[in-house]
Structure 1
């Protein structure tokens, strides 16, 4: 769908032009790009933030990251974007109405077509780790309907972030699978 056609779900930064990292610019490790507060529409019948909203928040943070590497509406109008192909979320504690959220994103790995990112969500006042999210993203040619290598300027920005994040500790949740653990008899 072209960016000028109406769509239902929007991100907080939609319509704001990319502000990409410039060569030689210091890149924070990890990146802290958004700090939302839990609104009423994210709270479910159990009185805490609904599970789908954790992914929504991580998606908004991904959008903020995309704008720091040069992906915005103008970039997508050229027929390319990043698509999520895999996500794993660990819900570790509850967030409630009005809670401030402190988010961070770490670039774990990247190649010519893919980015492996890791999100953390802490309570903005207590510092408690509320959730983590791990995602594999792929650069796509939307007209061809398939993956394609990133153009050189995007590749350079992504790898500058990767270099800045190389010294960060690898989060313990990275690469874990889902399943019921059973004692071996």
Structure 2
């Protein structure tokens, strides 16, 4: 697979650019979760700690999203007709480090959707050990790029999303979904008892 340097904005590309969506069969079973993307940690993704840099976790999750788009019918041709899907919120939870050359396996679940929005959940695993490395939860918005505003998905896309969501909603919700970032605080008395003198 031809990869570009994600740290050079003039070369930033999705692994799926140029790939067409395949026909979607509404009667076919939908895997829960979907496993659509695999890759290997590239030299440009490794930081001064000799692990994959935090920004590159999002880069890889973005490729997983692009694989999902092609699964249900959004590709370059779709965008050329004036519509796309933009990210409006992302929450990444990093669990384990991963180093140069190590293989990654991504999964994705559609937690919810409506006529304009997608709520998705990614997990990134080490493809050999199966270790969970990170998760990402995202809210995405379908947009009319010419009008510069949110727009409904076409009816056929909504039907496909409904089929995916029906399958994914049968499984228990991922434990890490819906997390809020906060510093967990004990009560003031407990804090005082454990504070250094």
Q: Matches of 2:66 and 2:25 in 1, distance apart?
A: 18
SS at match of 2:160: helix
Alpha-carbon distance, 1:20 to partner: 4.1
Q: 1:104, 1:119 within 8 Å by CA — same for their partners in 2?
A: yes
5 Å-filtered alignment, 1:9-158, equals: 9-158=12-161
> What TM-score do the two structures reach when normalised by structure 1?
0.93
Output the TM-score relative to the length of structure 2. Answer: 0.88
User: Separation in 1 of the partners of 2:126 and 2:135?
Assistant: 12
Structure 1 segments, 4+ long, off by >2 Å, are none
Consecutive unaligned residues of structure 2, counting only runs of 5 or more, are 1-9, 189-197
Distance 1:184 1:86 in 2: 31
Any conservation in 2 of the 1:30–1:165 contact (CA below 8 Å)?
Answer: yes
Equivalent residue pairs, number: 179
Q: CA deviation at 1:14?
A: 0.3
Partner SS for 1:34: strand
**2:157 paired with 1:163:** no
Distance 2:175 2:145 in 1: 34
Deviation at 1:184, TM superposition (A): 2.4
Give per-residue Cα distances to partners, 1:61-85, cap 9 Å, x unaligned: 0000000110011101111111100
CA deviation vs aligned residue, 1:136-176 (integer Å, no higher than 9, x gap): 00111111111111110111111111011111221111111
Deviates more, 1:56-65 or 1:159-168: 159-168
Asked if structure 2 preserves the Cα contact closer than 8 Å seen for 1:79 and 1:143, the reply is yes
Two-structure CA RMSD over aligned residues (Å): 1.1
- Is this contact kept in 2: 1:90–1:131, CA < 8 A? yes
Larger Cα Rg: Structure 1 or Structure 2? 2
